[in-house]
Amino acid sequence: GAVVSQHPSWVICKSGTSVKIECRSLDFQATTMFWYRQFPKQSLMLMATSNEGSKATYEQGVEKDKFLINHASLTLSTLTVTSAHPEDSSFYICSALGLDTGELFFGEGSRLTVL
Amino acid sequence: AQKITQTQPGMFVQEKEAVTLDCTYDTSDQSYGLFWYKQPSSGEMIFLIYQGSYDEQNATEGRYSLNFQKARKSTNLVISASQLGDSAMYFCAMREGNFGNEKLTFGTGTRLTIIP
């Protein structure tokens, strides 16, 4: 089956630094990728939708200058948390929409801890 | 307004019994998709089953089946013969929008615990 890979799985960083999370579709092309954030014991909250070659569409309340999303190719989207603070600590999950099948596949998630 | 509503924050079910997880949704789109995902403690999202809005038959996938009632805007997940490994968070989700403008919205989830 199709696989979406996220990297890194775990990251611990100091407050004020920036962290980049990659989301790759390994065996299919994804025109659309979604980025979610999940706090402990809560649901997945959609942060933004990225379409290959165009600017990401951010959900209300999500700071686009803080959460930079780049979707430069049909197999890679990146989320950069800029000037991270402890309140940004969360589980970030990406999902990719298959170009041909329309199926949706999730990455394994990336757990960010900001000290 | 909540797009996806899961009214059961937690459920405890005896092993081997069937369990129904509730989900209602709200959309004005004619074409949409409904998903159920399982999230174990490891955090990964595991796709379970899908129902398209135009599908007339209830979707089934092994021990998972959907009770899709379009007029009521509900899509309940039925797990038959529950197993200890079924203990996890379960999320209902809805996909709306057209190509290039899709959005997948999740419910608040139900934590299912299977009791031996």
**Are A4 and A26 contacting, i.e. CB atoms less than 8 angstroms apart?**
yes
pLDDT band at B97; cut points 50, 70, 90: confident
Rounded-to-10 torsion of CA B10, B13, B19, B21? 0
Other beta carbons within 10 Å of A27 = 11
Residues of chain A with pLDDT > 90, as a percent, come to 66
The Cα–Cα gap between A50 and A31 comes to 8
The distance of A87 to chain B (nearest Cα, Å) reads 19
Q: Which two tokens stand for residue B41?
A: 């403690």
Of B43, B104, B105, the CB nearest to A95: B104
The stretch A80-107 carries a mean pLDDT of 88
pLDDT band at A30; cut points 50, 70, 90: confident
The Cα–Cα gap between A57 and A69 comes to 9
pLDDT (0 to 100) of residue B48: 93
Q: Is B38 on the interface with A (CB under 8 A)?
A: no
Decide if B43 and A46 are in contact by the 8 Å CB cutoff.
no
Which residues of B are less than 8 Å from A111 in CB distance?
A: 43
